[in-house]
Amino acid sequence: MLSVHTSPLHQPGTGDAGGMNVYIVELAKRLARTGIEVEVFTRATTGDLPCEVELAPGVLVRHVDAGPYEGLSKEDLPAQLCAFTHGVMRAEASQRPGHYDLVHSHYWLSGHVGWLAADRWNVPLVHAMHTMAKVKNAALARGDTPEPAARVIGETQIVGAADRLIANTEEEAAELIRHYAAAREKVAVVHPGVNLDRFRPTDGRDAARARLGLPRDAVIPLFVGRIQPLKAPDILLRAVAVLLTRDPSLRDRLVVPVVGGPSGTGLARPDRLHKLAARLGVADVVRFQPPVGQEGLADWYRAASVLVMPSYSESFGLVAMEAQACGTPVVAAAVGGLPVAVRDGGTGFLVDGHDPARYADVLRRFVDRPGLTDELGAAAVRHAQSFGWEASAQATAEVYDAAVRRHRFAASA
């Protein structure tokens, strides 16, 4: 696997580390358990990293020197792809011939490295976009910066070069075909999963609230994710302001945790959301919480009345699945993979568009009907059961098999 711009060893929830990191860790571990050994190449971001780290039995992370350890943003990395590829090729050259059977690249930067590596090693290239520039640009938050044309060109090249493209949902598969002219037969849909051992209701909402020091009887709409315009945490704050204007008596029993750190275009103004909370007069009910590890995060999900995901674009939205697996319903924008992750009216609610008043309307239902959280939450737990990573790994292994068979067939023809 290639993960150039972010390491599976990094803490997700801030900067460049998010769902893709979790995806690679969980998928690689499950693949390894089925006998598919995985090596993940990633760029070294500090000088003291060992060349190799065993992430789990059968999963090795290899650090590649490509550019200075610090000070490079994701946008600088296209200039380091040659150095990165050099490191990957050197690592392979020190192995016996035929060491790798397949290259699985994640995100377009890795796709470019994979393009050359797979060609040189005469193995298939399987690529996962995770996000796509054209899709993001078609649904930008107001004032957000579009993805550059160079990325669109790079993505288009990978779509042409890859033997197989893995899409998170049918929607993403259609986007690959519509926006990038991907050949239908190249695209396979594999739903991401959720770690069902870690994300489960355990001892329930009251106990989680007690552990986190949250009031037992509070209404708690939770945001979890990287703080950037794309994820629209501001819509939640605006919706909360609407709720409080309509019913000031709610102020005493509303707590709005925002878990995560700045990322992407949000890095330019890391205090933007704090300022917005102050400006909207909701700073007293909002609790900003720096990113937490996955174990700790499970308690935040359990404690919440509802997880709110007003994103402008979301290729899947792992946090929606994680919250549901913990027994918490989700209110989400009806974009990208979220209509797959959330069953509208069954495990949460989908909202069209980004009008804060509409989110306030839906959140009000949780205020008016205290039993709603548990009712939808129970269905959410059942829904999440069909999204274990084992199924994702199994489906991915089938894509690998098909790619290898087709590659061998093409070579012998």
To ligand UDP, the closest distance from the beta carbon of 292 in angstroms equals 5
Q: Which stretch binds ligand UDP (CB under 6 A): 15-23, 87-95, 200-208, 339-347?
A: 15-23
Cα–Cα distance measured from residue 198 to residue 244, given in angstroms and rounded to the nearest whole number: 34
Ligand-binding annotation for 186, yes or no, is no
Enclosing H/E stretch for 289 = strand 286-289
Cα distances from 149 to residues 133, 146, 153, 155, in angstroms, run: 8, 9, 6, 10
How far apart are the C-alpha atoms of 295 and 403, rounded to whole Å? 35
Element (DSSP H or E) covering residue 320: helix 318-325
Q: Is 12 in the site for ligand UDP (CB under 6 A)?
A: yes
The answer to the question of whether 151 is labelled as a binding residue is: yes
The rounded distance, in Å, linking the Cα atoms of 392 and 372 is: 30
Output the residue with the shortest Cβ distance to ligand UDP: 18
Based on the shown chain and the rule CB under 6 A, indicate whether residue 388 belongs to the binding site for ligand UDP: no
Neighbours of 64 (CB within 10 A): 21
- With respect to ligand UDP, which residue has the nearer C-beta, 98 or 293? 293
Rounded alpha-carbon distances, angstroms, from residue 196 to 204, 323, 340? 15, 11, 18
What are residue 96's phi and psi, to 5 degrees?
-70, 155
What does the alpha-carbon distance between residue 4 and residue 1 come to, in Å, rounded to a whole number? 10
Q: Which stretch binds ligand UDP (CB under 6 A): 50-58, 279-287, 312-320, 392-400?
A: 312-320
Cβ contact 229:313 at 8 Å: no
For the window 215-254, what string marks contact with ligand UDP as x by the rule CB under 6 A? ---------xxx----------------------------
CB of 16 to ligand UDP, least distance (A): 9
Instruction: Give the residue, chosen from 13, 114, 327, 329, that forms a contact with ligand UDP under the rule CB under 6 A.
Output: 13
Choose between 201 and 317: whose C-beta lies nearer to ligand UDP: 317
Nearer of residues 338 and 362 to ligand UDP, judged by Cβ? 338
Contact 184, 378 (CB under 8 A): no
In the region spanning residues 81 to 100, those forming contacts with ligand UDP, defined by CB under 6 A, are none
**Among the residue ranges 57-65, 73-81, 292-300, 388-396, the one whose residues contact ligand UDP (CB under 6 A):** 292-300
In whole angstroms, the minimum distance from the beta carbon of 124 to ligand UDP comes to 25
Counting runs of H as helices and runs of E as strands, what totals does the chain give?
15, 14
Q: 21 a known binding residue? A: yes
Q: Known binder of ligand: residue 20?
A: yes
Single residue of 128, 322, 333, 336 touching ligand UDP by CB under 6 A: 322
- Closest distance of CB 51 from ligand UDP, Å: 26
Q: How far apart are CA 306 and CA 259, in angstroms?
A: 14
Residue 106, strand partner residues: 128
Binding site for ligand UDP (CB under 6 A): 12-13, 18-20, 22, 224-226, 259-260, 291-292, 294, 297, 316-319, 322
Binding residues for Mg(2+): 301-302, 304, 328
Binding residues for 1D-myo-inositol 3-phosphate: 5, 16-21, 74, 107, 131, 151
